[in-house]
Amino acid sequence: MHKNEGNAMLEAAIVLPLMLFIAIGLIFLPLTNFFTKTILVDAAREGARHVALWEDESGAYDLVEQILTDNGLDKSNLQDISFDYSTANYVRITVLYRHPTLFPRITKLIGTETLDNYSLLSVSSTFKREGP
């Protein structure tokens, strides 16, 4: 009887840390993408607002970079900012950001594309043009 209790305790000592590591990883990794995506949504919204009011793409690009750096993101991971004027009187800005990740395969589970050790996050915002 005592031998079985010792085996169960040894199994728990081996398996429990591994299970906790996996559980914390599955909770933490999507949260980092969520916080980064929240910052990107803010940057795209402010960039689209800037273009809608002032029709200044270079100023919007600088504004997006400033918001990223102010919130602790590396602006060198900013892959692309594109502007779309195809809808009359509206401007749409799309921001692509390469978010570093520890486990590139896990990002497939949360629906993002994987590039090497980065997940590609894409955010768009549309504003009505009211420029001068």
Query: 122 has which bridge partners?
Result: 96
* 33 and 121 Cβ atoms separated by less than 8 Å: yes
pTM: 0.75
| pLDDT mean across residues, the chain | 85
Amino acid 36: pLDDT: 92
Q: Which residues of the chain have pLDDT under 70?
A: 1-4, 29, 102-116, 131-132
d(CA 94, CA 91): 10
